[in-house]
């Protein structure tokens, strides 16, 4: 069960979900029931193409269901009004399309599954529709923590207060349900510890985000453009937009003052207004969505991850490591990864220190090359998708062999109809 249709795998969540599906299919027959996100499939033809592509990867894929609130302002307002009135997280209503329930029933009847992999707690309202079989829930991050961080960094008291309200509702849900799943799949040990503290008795297993180390390979140093700095991530997502705005306002002026020929390239889908605002800064270019990031990354002297809001682990770092790129990141930006400051990454939270680290990477060939080599080694040994997949499949095999099923969970939120 997925909150997105993970093809093409060009965003963080679709990348992870797509590769997890591939790895699970190595050991199991996988049937996918998924919602379709507007940012991933812009129309019905795109949904059909994505479903068709995914049917070549796994045993079966049901028809994808669009999320109504992404296509209708009235539906979006109903979702949030219902959340306020019912004192339930907005996701209960956002993922409430009855057609998804119908597709889920078809899938259960057709596949007679031995286990359910729920790729996000966002889908918790459908728990009562599941048979009494083991259920694994993936937490791409601790969502309540992510909401709190967003509330702290967003402008406007009313919006901030509402997001904080959603954080409390989501934390209550995480606290109540997590201990009842057969296993909670976490993307980092840090998040696993947080979840166990929040919901004592929860069983956790870490399956970190991974990277295709054959696709993302180091390129010739001759392709590097001196002074080139790269940020990867769609800025329609708040954590990325906040990171770019923070970098441009507090860090980039210092970098440019000390390295006047430095250039910044922002790779990832962004709104026209964001692009225009970012490119007002000297040396900045926004490329929007690109089908293949490798030509852009191959030119980078330094990859920056100035995130102040986030959870889980950052695919942008894994991609850069796999391509042998030097990285400067905030603590939040690289949280949960096997990072060693000064060995495979530079970690700086103070804006001035972050800028100084970027300038060092741009000017010191030995440092840049050492960080890149060690990053590539980390990607190969820890984050290659087959490495991640073997551990996840072993966890599921153990559950199927030993665990007592606790499926058919009551979401505790009323009828899922």
Taking each helix axis from N to C end, the angle separating 143-153 and 238-246, rounded to the nearest 10 degrees, works out to 40
Q: What is the pLDDT of residues 3-20, one digit of tens each?
A: 999 999 887 789 899 999
Q: What is the pLDDT of residues 318-333, one digit of tens each?
A: 999 999 999 999 999 9
Q: Which one-letter DSSP state was computed for residue 28?
A: S
The pLDDT value recorded for residue 272 is 83
Give CA angle at 397 (392, 398), nearest 5°: 100
Are 153 and 308 in contact by the 8 Å Cβ rule? The answer is yes
Helix (H) or strand (E) holding 254, with range, is helix 252-258
Range scoring the smallest mean pLDDT among 32-36, 306-310, 317-321: 306-310
Range scoring the smallest mean pLDDT among 35-39, 261-265, 307-311, 411-415: 411-415
User: pLDDT-based confidence at 315, cuts 50/70/90?
Assistant: confident
Q: Which one-letter DSSP state was computed for residue 43?
A: S
The pLDDT value recorded for residue 335 is 87
In order of 59, 67, 115, 220, 224, the CA distances from 131 in angstroms are: 20, 24, 9, 53, 54
User: pLDDT-based confidence at 411, cuts 50/70/90?
Assistant: low
Strands lying side by side in the sheet with 135-139 = 116-118, 135-139, 183-186, 204-206
Please state, in angstroms and rounded to a whole number, the distance separating the CA atoms of residues 38 and 28: 29
Q: What percent of the chain has pLDDT over 90?
A: 82
Q: Which two tokens stand for residue 200?
A: 């004592």
- What is the dihedral sign for C-alpha 208, 212, 214, 215? negative
Residue 158 has a CB neighbour count (10 Å cut-off) of: 7
User: Is the confidence at residue 167, as pLDDT, over 50?
Assistant: yes
Q: Which two tokens stand for residue 366?
A: 């030995």
Stated pTM of the model: 0.80
Q: Which two tokens stand for residue 80?
A: 């949030």
Domains of the chain, earliest start first: 12-209+385-402 (3.40.50), 221-383 (3.40.50.2000)
């Amino acid at each position: 069960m997925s909150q997105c249709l993970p093809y093409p795998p060009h965003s963080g969540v679709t990348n992870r979900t797509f590769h997890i599906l591939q790895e699970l299919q190595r050991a199991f027959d996988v049937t996918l029931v998924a919602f379709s996100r507007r940012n991933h499939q812009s129309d019905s033809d795109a949904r059909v193409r994505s479903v068709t592509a995914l049917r070549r990867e796994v045993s079966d894929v049901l028809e994808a269901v669009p999320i109504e609130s992404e296509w209708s302002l009235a539906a979006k307002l109903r979702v949030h009004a219902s959340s306020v009135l019912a004192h339930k997280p907005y996701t209960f209503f956002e993922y409430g399309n009855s057609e998804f329930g119908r597709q889920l029933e078809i899938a259960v009847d057709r596949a007679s599954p031995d286990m359910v992999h729920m790729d996000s707690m966002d889908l918790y309202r459908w728990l009562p529709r599941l048979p009494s079989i083991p259920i694994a829930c993936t937490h791409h991050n601790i969502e309540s923590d992510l909401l709190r961080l967003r509330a702290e960094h967003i402008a406007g008291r009313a919006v901030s207060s509402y997001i904080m309200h959603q954080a409390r509702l989501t934390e209550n849900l995480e606290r109540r349900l997590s201990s009842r799943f057969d296993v909670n799949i976490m993307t980092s040990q840090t998040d696993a510890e947080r979840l166990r503290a929040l919901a004592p008795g929860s069983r956790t297993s870490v399956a970190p985000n991974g990277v295709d180390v054959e696709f993302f390979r180091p390129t010739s140093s001759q392709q590097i453009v001196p002074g080139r700095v790269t940020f990867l991530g769609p800025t329609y997502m708040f954590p990325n937009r906040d990171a770019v705005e923070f970098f441009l306002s507090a860090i980039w002026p210092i970098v440019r003052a000390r390295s006047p020929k430095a250039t910044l390239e922002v790779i990832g889908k962004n709104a026209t207004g964001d692009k225009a605002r970012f490119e007002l800064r000297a040396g900045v270019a926004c490329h929007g969505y690109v089908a293949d990031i490798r030509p852009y990354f191959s030119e980078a002297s330094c990859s920056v991850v100035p995130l102040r809001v986030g959870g889980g682990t950052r695919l942008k770092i894994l991609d850069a490591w796999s391509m042998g790129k030097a990285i400067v990141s905030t603590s939040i930006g690289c949280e949960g990864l096997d990072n060693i400051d000064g060995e495979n990454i530079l970690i700086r939270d103070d804006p001035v220190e972050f800028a100084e680290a970027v300038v060092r990477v741009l000017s010191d060939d030995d440092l840049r090359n050492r960080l890149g080599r060690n990053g590539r080694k980390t990607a190969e040994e820890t984050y290659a998708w087959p490495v991640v997949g073997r551990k996840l499949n072993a966890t599921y095999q153990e559950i199927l062999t030993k665990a007592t099923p606790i499926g058919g969970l009551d979401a505790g939120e009323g009828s899922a109809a």
